[in-house]
Structure 1
Amino acid sequence: MDIQIIGVFLLSLTGVLLGAYQYKSRNRTEVKEDDALDHIQGMYILKVPYEKLVIGYFGLMALASIVDLILGGNPDKVNLIYFLVSACAFLIFLYKLAMSLIEKVEFKWPTLIYVLLNAGIAAIVYYFMTNPVLKMGNAIEYLLTFHLLGMILGLGGTLILDILIFHFLRNFQINSSEAVIMHLISQLIIIGLVLLLVTGTAIYLTDIEGYNNNPRFLMKMTSVLVLSINGVFLNFYMMPKIEKLSLIEEDIEEDQNLKRVAFAVGGVSMVSWLSAFAFAMVKDLSYFTYVQMLIPYLVFVFAAIGGGQFIKKKMEKEVIEESKE
């Protein structure tokens, strides 16, 4: 057990030192808090400098390992917390790493190291855990609590984001401050999705056969899969170009693909989050087969995509009509 704690401490300490070096090397003169692209490039996460969060996270992990060593370790609870937290951090850093591969964002090698450090921490903890699935089963109430929190963040963030998009487009374009707000909310949605994936996987492992035979659960996972794919378009394609989302007369023919995606992903996201919530909470849906639930879900998804394009055309028509008056 001491080997495990020392391993976690050394990996966490490496993360702290690298984060501190990255923060010290940060060129503050080029950082613009009201610039959406700075947020996307990793300068900020929820308005907090990216490196500070890295230092804080790995610092807490290092401190927890020291306390764990002093107290003699508590494998029944602490190890599970280590594993789940590091798994969430792994996905978040993986997301930031993937974001650094898009055209407008510079690749940052420390993020790759953060991904590897978290993978190492999770692997060490999982290796030394005795019967990890049993531990997850014993903590099922806590897993369900954080699973519900992920659902709240994701669904709530999506509802707010969709409302704000139409509110910000009342003057047919989105400015820098509005783009930053939208990116902040999209980050909350990502955090919600990460919580949903990590806790959902842990819950699934406690009864694999039972969940595989549960059509309601399979439909919920289908919705989450669609959400993940939709999130790729939202964060990797739309958000870096969000300020180009303009419907004013001189821009009406520009960036049509971006506008189509923007008006599609909002509807798909809304339908999928509401569906995932319904499949999780409405037990009477268990009377239906997977196919019987899949067909209406797909109908709603395609209706949302079509409805988004209809709204886009309607708004463009309004712009053209106003320009003629």
Structure 2
Amino acid sequence: MELLPVETLKTALIAGHLLGLAFGVGGALTLDIIAFRYFYLDRITPEKLVLFHFIARLVTVGLVILWITGLAFLWLYWQHQPELLGNPKVWAKVTIVVVLTVNGYFLHHKVFPILDRNLGRYLFYRVNVDEKAMMFTFSSISIISWGFPLVLGIARSLNFTTGVENILAFYFLMLASTCFVMLIIFKLFLEPFKRFVIDRPARQRIAPP
């Protein structure tokens, strides 16, 4: 005897999956906004850092929900609709969630300690080139990897029509392109803007008469 009808269970899993995506996509975007507006253009304060870590924990919760609901979907397919396990989109999503998990580990153990280290200072205070590249790379992976499964879920035309290698090739191309564009924007626009619009007037205000 089944505890729940298959369709009821599937509906509950879809709701949970969407909740996990909402936590992840919304949280990742919010973290980037906080990092730019309050850590890059301003000094890192204890209050803002606490908020940042709280939202980061929500993103982690979203990732855990994705794993739980995703594995439950695989079990459901295996038990009731094994033909769906042949859908390349399913395994592309699994791969992307693995990437998200690994990326989350490095964010928490490599990037977030830099924020804690620079408490009371600007984001890139005494941050070397390798650390900046690492921060941009992991941030790009986070944004694209949270948004991509959402796009895959909407793109039903890809079901059983596009190979997993093609989906992942496009995914990794988007990762590389996003990281490159972010670095270009930072070097050509954000650094000059901060140097001449924010830092220079601030130095002039505190300069002795």
1:62-141 alignment runs, 5 A limit: 76=3, 139-141=9-11
Q: Provide TM-score, normalisation by structure 2.
A: 0.78
Question: Which structure 2 residue ranges, 5 or more long, are not aligned?
Answer: 205-209
Q: Provide TM-score, normalisation by structure 1.
A: 0.52
3-state secondary structure, aligned to 1:246? coil
Structure 2 counterpart of 1:202 = 72
Q: Distance in 2 between matches of 1:290 and 1:259?
A: 32
1:296-315 alignment runs, 5 A limit: 296-314=170-188, 315=190
Query: Paired residue for 1:222, among 95, 98, 113?
Result: 95
Q: Distance in 1 between matches of 2:192 and 2:42?
A: 12
Are residues 1:267 and 2:147 paired? no
3-state secondary structure, aligned to 1:174? coil
Aligned-residue CA RMSD (Å):
2.7
Are residues 1:145 and 2:15 paired? yes
Query: Paired residue for 2:86, among 188, 191, 213?
Result: 213
Q: Distance in 2 between matches of 1:76 and 1:139?
A: 9
Q: Distance in 2 between matches of 1:155 and 1:265?
A: 15
Are residues 1:193 and 2:63 paired? yes
Structure 1 counterpart of 2:207 = none
The 8 Å contact of residues 247 and 316 in structure 1, kept in 2 or not, is answered as no
Structure 2 counterpart of 1:240 = 113
Structure 2 counterpart of 1:277 = 150
Structure 2 counterpart of 1:161 = 31
Cα distance, 1:136 vs structure 2: 7.2
Cα distance, 1:268 vs structure 2: 1.4
Cα distance, 1:320 vs structure 2: 5.1
Q: Distance in 2 between matches of 1:233 and 1:143?
A: 28
Structure 2 counterpart of 1:54 = none
Cα distance, 1:319 vs structure 2: 4.8
Q: Distance in 1 between matches of 2:109 and 2:155?
A: 33
Amino acid at match of 2:156: K
Q: Distance in 1 between matches of 2:132 and 2:45?
A: 15
Cα distance, 1:214 vs structure 2: 0.5
Q: Distance in 2 between matches of 1:176 and 1:307?
A: 31
Q: Distance in 1 between matches of 2:127 and 2:93?
A: 37
Are residues 1:254 and 2:181 paired? no
The 8 Å contact of residues 41 and 194 in structure 2, kept in 1 or not, is answered as no
Q: Distance in 2 between matches of 1:230 and 1:173?
A: 26
The 8 Å contact of residues 223 and 272 in structure 1, kept in 2 or not, is answered as yes
1:226 to 1:136, Cα distance in 2 relative to 1, 3 A: farther
Amino acid at match of 1:289: G
Q: Distance in 1 between matches of 2:21 and 2:83?
A: 22
| Higher RCO structure (Cα 8 Å, ≥6 apart) | 2
The 8 Å contact of residues 230 and 268 in structure 1, kept in 2 or not, is answered as yes
The 8 Å contact of residues 89 and 152 in structure 2, kept in 1 or not, is answered as yes
Amino acid at match of 1:154: G
Could you tell me the percent identity over the aligned residues?
26
The 8 Å contact of residues 44 and 123 in structure 2, kept in 1 or not, is answered as no
Question: Which structure 1 residue ranges, 5 or more long, are not aligned?
Answer: 1-74, 78-134
